Amino acid sequence: MNKYLKSTEFIEFDIQDYVARVTLNRPDKRNSLSPQMLEELRDALIEADARSDVNVIVLAGAGKDFCAGYDLNVYADKGAKEKIDESQYRTRNSTFDDDCWSIEETQSYLSVISEIHKPVIAKVHGNCLAGGTDLALLCDMVIAAEDAKIGFPATRANGTPPSNMWFYHVGPQWAKRMLMTGDSLWGIDAARIGLVLDAVPADELDAAVDELARRVSFVDAELLAVHKRAVNIALELGGAKTLQRMTAELDARGHLSQGSRRTRFKEDIAERGLKEALKNRDAPFGDGMVKIHWTSK
């Protein structure tokens, strides 16, 4: 029986040979992040961190995708939320500070990845978009399929990533290149610029992640925690934690931009539905993929 993970409607949790496998399990919704899934994910990670039979955690997605982002339908549809008296609680986007608070609430679910002691390996396949990148880039290591699609298209109209780790993976120029266009990278190109640790053919992804997890699992959990915390302290000294705090406010500021087409995007959702709103937002960008002209030395 699990101590911290009480509900597993949208998360699969399994432990074998000192490896905990936490799997996002909403394949019909492309594993998009709903409030309930975020809660279950946090609880699953804390459960794995607390257990003496776990040394390393693998985070994956069921079905065709790792995670296609935040579930905009859930966040837009108040009727889909728990039936509570909304008048007693903050309302997302009603004021600047309420928006910051809401973003920070989402950050709190994801930040557990870096705060727990056990290392987390993300296994990325299919779509890893928007909130999916918030999730993956907070992990300690990311292995991707060569044909995985990784990006944050929502930066074209919806604000900046609330868990903004792009700079720390790829440096200032590539971070700006990705955020200022909302374009995506194939997994193989993401590995070339350092956004992910490695990319392998899709049919070899399971074996590659299993082998890395196996090797990490041989090291004592307390020593793994030492290594993780040493590197994460370096990230904190480099401002990563401060940036998380600031991006909540910067994302909220971006939500106020009238020139970003955010207002029209919200109107499109209300009037035409999410599918049409996404089409109108992304159409000017073509296929939305980064074209890198690699040169040999």
* Model pLDDT, residue 272: 84
Distances in Å between the Cα of 69 and the Cα atoms of 24, 46, 50, 61, 154 are 12, 22, 28, 12, 9
Query: Is position 85 within any domain?
Result: yes
CA pair distance 95, 180, nearest whole angstrom: 25
* Model pLDDT, residue 90: 57
Query: Is position 291 within any domain?
Result: no
**Runs of H (alpha helix) within 111-239:** 112-115, 131-137, 166-179, 187-192, 205-217, 221-237
User: CB of 284 within 8 A of CB of 195?
Assistant: no
Q: What are phi and psi of 239, to 5 degrees?
A: 95, 10
Query: Is position 6 within any domain?
Result: no
Query: Is position 199 within any domain?
Result: yes
Question: Which amino acid is it at 159?
Answer: G
Q: What are phi and psi of 289, to 5 degrees?
A: -105, 140
* Model pLDDT, residue 258: 59
* Model pLDDT, residue 294: 72
pTM of the complete model: 0.91
* Model pLDDT, residue 292: 87
H or E element at residue 47: helix 35-50
Which string of b and e fits 195-213 if b means at least 16 CB within 10 Å?
A: bbbbbbeeeebbebbbebb
Query: Is position 154 within any domain?
Result: yes
Query: Is position 294 within any domain?
Result: no
User: CB of 10 within 8 A of CB of 40?
Assistant: yes
Query: Is position 5 within any domain?
Result: no
Q: Which residues of the chain have pLDDT under 50?
A: 78-85, 259-261
Q: Would you state the structure tokens that stand for residue 136, as one six-digit string?
A: 């993956």
CATH of the domain at 217: 3.90.226.10
Query: Is position 252 within any domain?
Result: yes
CA pair distance 104, 205, nearest whole angstrom: 33
Q: Is 115 exposed, middle or buried (0-12, 13-18, 19+ CB in 10 A)?
A: middle
The boundaries of the domain holding residue 58 are: 11-284
* Model pLDDT, residue 49: 98
* Model pLDDT, residue 81: 45
Domain count, the chain: 1
* Model pLDDT, residue 79: 44
Distances in Å between the Cα of 167 and the Cα atoms of 53, 180, 214 are 34, 13, 29
* Model pLDDT, residue 93: 59
* Model pLDDT, residue 87: 53
Going by DSSP bridges, is the β-strand pair 127-129/56-61 parallel, antiparallel, or unpaired? unpaired
Which string of b and e fits 118-146 if b means at least 16 CB within 10 Å?
A: bbbbbbbbbbbbbbbbbbbbbbbbbbbbb
End-to-end CA distance of the chain: 56
CA pair distance 155, 148, nearest whole angstrom: 19
* Model pLDDT, residue 178: 97
Instruction: Report CA 270 to chain centroid distance, whole Å.
Output: 25
* Model pLDDT, residue 6: 85
Residues 6+ apart with CB under 8 A from 10: 24, 25, 26, 34, 36, 37, 40
* Model pLDDT, residue 273: 83
